[in-house]
Each structure stands twice: as structure tokens, then as C-alpha cells.
């Protein structure tokens, strides 16, 4: 069984956050969602758990950071093409996200852009040309 990742994100408005992630292509799994959490599925192995602050506090005694004022993590998703990167960013912008939070990364064989969700969590979306990677997983450039 492949490893799975569940990114837990505290959100201030669960309905708004859920709508945002649906707009950029994630699907809500109702089996693991309720009025305190939305399980957003990006792929068979990648999930974002959107949690109300009260729900998030059940998992940690640490203060919840204001993601608009500080950063603890940058999350990166792969895309199938340069155009797919741009498509996700266009959807994020149309859904109320701030696009191009950081500079566009364009190295020819690798292309990435970033967006900020309504709660301030920063996501990067990147594409890498598979032909640019050799058998050892090293860049051919």
C-alpha cells in the first residue's frame, strides 16, 4: 500500500475553505467530513483535512498560528504540465485565493507557482519534465 499524506489545516470558515478547495479541484469526502472538518481529496494518496479551530485544538495544545502573519509549512503539489500549474492558479484566484504569493519558478525543465488560500496557507504547484530526471532521480540539467 502506498504511503498517504493527510495535511491538517486550521480554517476560520469551514464552508468557505471547503468551497475554495473544491474550486481548485479537490473533492470532499463526506465519509470523513462533518460540521467541524472537511476531508478534501487531491488524489488516492493526498488529502487535506480542513479543521475548525476548535477541532484543530483537539490535536495540539500549541497556539494556532495566523497563517496570514507567519509561516510554518509550505505545501507543494505536483501537476501534469506547465498548463496544469497555470490552470490551478487561475482556479485559486477565481475562488478568492491570492495567486503568485512567491515568485514564479521557471527553470525550463521545472515550473512552479504558488497561491495562498483564504486562511493564508501557502500552496505551491509545480511541474517537472520527466525527461529531465535520470534513473537515479537526479536533475539532468
Which CATH number is 129's domain given? 3.10.180.10
DSSP-derived letter for residue 65 is P
pLDDT at 135 over 70: no
Place 71 in a pLDDT band, splitting at 50, 70 and 90: confident
Q: Decide: 26 and 40 in contact? Cβ < 8 Å.
A: yes
Is 95 within a domain?
yes
What average pLDDT does the segment 115-141 reach? 80
Which is higher by pLDDT, 44 or 130? 44
Same domain for 30 and 79, yes or no, is no
Q: What is the pLDDT of residue 2?
A: 86
Same domain for 102 and 56, yes or no, is no
How do residues 85-127 score in pLDDT, each as one tens digit? 999 999 999 999 999 988 999 999 999 999 999 999 999 999 9
Could you tell me the three cell numbers for 77? 503539489
Rg (CA), the chain: 16
Q: How many domains in the chain?
A: 2
- Domain of residue 27 covers 1-60
Q: Is the dihedral of CA 49, 51, 57, 61 positive or negative?
A: positive
The Cα 56–Cα 59 span in angstroms is 6
Query: Starting at the edge strand that comes first in sequence, how are the strands of the sheet with 46-52 ordered?
Result: 5-11, 46-52, 37-41, 27-29
The mean predicted confidence, pLDDT, of the chain is 92
Residues 6+ apart with CB under 8 A from 32: 39, 49
Is 81 within a domain?
yes
Is 4 within a domain?
yes
Amino acid at each position: 500500500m502506498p504511503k498517504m499524506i493527510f495535511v491538517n489545516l486550521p480554517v476560520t470558515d469551514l464552508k468557505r475553505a471547503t468551497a475554495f478547495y473544491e474550486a481548485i479541484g479537490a473533492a470532499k469526502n463526506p465519509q470523513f467530513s462533518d460540521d467541524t472538518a472537511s476531508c478534501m481529496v487531491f488524489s488516492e494518496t493526498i488529502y487535506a483535512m480542513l479543521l475548525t479551530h476548535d477541532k484543530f485544538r483537539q490535536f495540539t495544545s500549541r497556539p494556532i498560528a495566523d497563517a496570514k502573519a507567519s509561516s510554518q509549512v509550505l505545501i507543494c503539489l505536483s501537476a501534469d504540465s506547465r498548463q496544469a500549474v497555470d490552470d490551478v492558479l487561475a482556479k485559486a484566484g477565481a475562488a478568492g485565493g491570492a495567486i503568485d504569493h512567491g515568485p514564479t519558478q521557471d527553470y525550463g525543465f521545472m515550473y512552479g507557482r504558488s497561491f495562498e488560500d483564504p486562511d493564508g496557507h501557502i500552496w505551491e504547484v509545480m511541474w517537472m519534465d520527466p525527461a529531465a530526471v535520470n534513473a537515479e532521480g537526479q536533475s539532468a540539467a
